Structure 1
Amino acid sequence: MEYELAIENAPETISGGTGVLLLHPSTGETDRIDTDFLSTDTDHMLIVSTRTTAREVEQKLEHYEVDEERAVVLDTLSVERGYTRRPTENVKYLSSPDDVSGIVETTREFLTSHEGKRRVSVDSVTEMAYYADEERARGAVEDILALIREHDAVGLFHLAEEVHDEEIVDGYRELFDGVVELSADGTVTSDF
């Protein structure tokens, strides 16, 4: 299965099973890349949010006119922050961003219960590593990538480059089929 990839300076399409690493500055504006990735040529999307709450994700989707009916949001922050939460069919909650097994399991459930073209956005691996640790975050990324391959889906994984040691970033680069880099001035480059 081929998926359109609406990211500037990147291939027009990618194959099902492809994982894409989005390297960005910690203050980088990734919303446009993320929402373009999610909204193009897709039947269902899972947004794993370790950086913002479900409410903030929904506001982002609405702002960029992404079809929220197709989205499932996994909010890993609201419980920890003590916010009111009401799980729905399209919003799931975990206790905190360090629940990496819960993140992997929710991804598995999403991919097995939805058909067609499915996209997964993990925003962000950096926050997951901050809460869990580098090793557990990397293990979760590897598990999610395996699920994406198994289910012919595609994924976009956010990583704030300057927050991690160079060897950690290089290790992530090796895991992915494609790397999209967003520079501080907004320039986008890619390597597939």
Structure 2
Amino acid sequence: MDYSLEIEGTPESVPGGTGVLLLHPSTGETDRIDTDFLKTDTDRFLVVSTRTTAREVKQKLEYYDVDESRADILDTLSIERGYSRRSGDHVHYVSAPDDIDGIVLQIERFLDAHEGKRRISFDSVTELAYYAGEENALEAVTRIYALLEEYDAIGLFHLSEEVHDDAVVEAFVDLFDGVIDLDEDGTVDAAF
């Protein structure tokens, strides 16, 4: 199945199983691209957050007018930081942002539980690498990518290119079908 993309410079649509890497400066404004990705042509979406809590993800979705009734959120921070958390049908938790097996399992459960067009936003791979190490982050992305292909879903993965050395950035770029490069001034270049 094909998925529409409404992000500047990208193809009009991509096939299921596609992964897109969003390269951005560490100060870059990624929310606009992320929410454009999530609100277009989708039945359900999962936001995997290693950078913010579920509450902050909900605030972002509300601010950008994304239909929260289609959302699931995987919060990797709240348990480790000791924040209070309210479990709900659509908010899930893992013990820590370096719990790669837990993250991959929750993504698989989400994909298995929902039909139709499913999107995953992983915000952010850079934070995952900070907690779990770059090699483990590469392995996690590879495993998640295999799930996208198996379940005919698509994903957007955030990576701050300023934080990693060039070889690491290239290793991530090589995994993906498409790369969106967001400059500090908001300019978008995409290659698919």
Shorter-chain TM-score bucket reads: over 0.9
Structure 1 residue 50, shift from structure 2 partner: 0.1
Q: Paired residue for 2:114?
A: 114
Structure 1 residue 97, shift from structure 2 partner: 0.5
Structure 2 residue ranges without an equivalent (≥5):
none
Asked if 1:18 corresponds to 2:18, the answer is yes
Asked if 1:167 corresponds to 2:172, the answer is no
Whole-Å separation in 1 of the counterparts to 2:82 and 2:136: 24
Aligned ranges 1:118-137 → 2 under 5 Å? 118-137=118-137
Q: Paired residue for 1:150?
A: 150
Aligned ranges 1:22-171 → 2 under 5 Å? 22-171=22-171
Structure 1 residue 182, shift from structure 2 partner: 0.2
Whole-Å separation in 1 of the counterparts to 2:93 and 2:106: 10
Structure 1 residue 27, shift from structure 2 partner: 0.6
**TM-score, normalized by length of structure 1?**
0.99
Secondary structure at the counterpart of residue 85 of structure 1: coil
Structure 1 residue ranges without an equivalent (≥5):
none
**TM-score, normalized by length of structure 2?**
0.99
Identity of aligned residues (%): 66
Whole-Å separation in 1 of the counterparts to 2:77 and 2:41: 29
Q: Paired residue for 2:185?
A: 185
Whole-Å separation in 2 of the counterparts to 1:17 and 1:95: 28
Amino acid at match of 2:29: E
Structure 1 residue 86, shift from structure 2 partner: 1.6
Deviations 1:86-119 (A, max 9, x none): 2111100111110011110000000011000000
Whole-Å separation in 2 of the counterparts to 1:4 and 1:84: 37
Secondary structure at the counterpart of residue 96 of structure 1: coil
Whole-Å separation in 1 of the counterparts to 2:80 and 2:148: 28
Whole-Å separation in 2 of the counterparts to 1:95 and 1:42: 28
Whole-Å separation in 2 of the counterparts to 1:104 and 1:138: 13
Secondary structure at the counterpart of residue 96 of structure 2: coil
Deviations 1:127-165 (A, max 9, x none): 000001111111110000000011000000000001001
Whole-Å separation in 1 of the counterparts to 2:36 and 2:11: 14
Amino acid at match of 1:75: D
Amino acid at match of 1:130: Y
Q: CA RMSD in A?
A: 0.5
Q: Paired residue for 1:6?
A: 6
Amino acid at match of 1:154: I
Runs (4+) of structure 1 moved beyond 4 Å?
Answer: none
Whole-Å separation in 2 of the counterparts to 1:42 and 1:65: 15
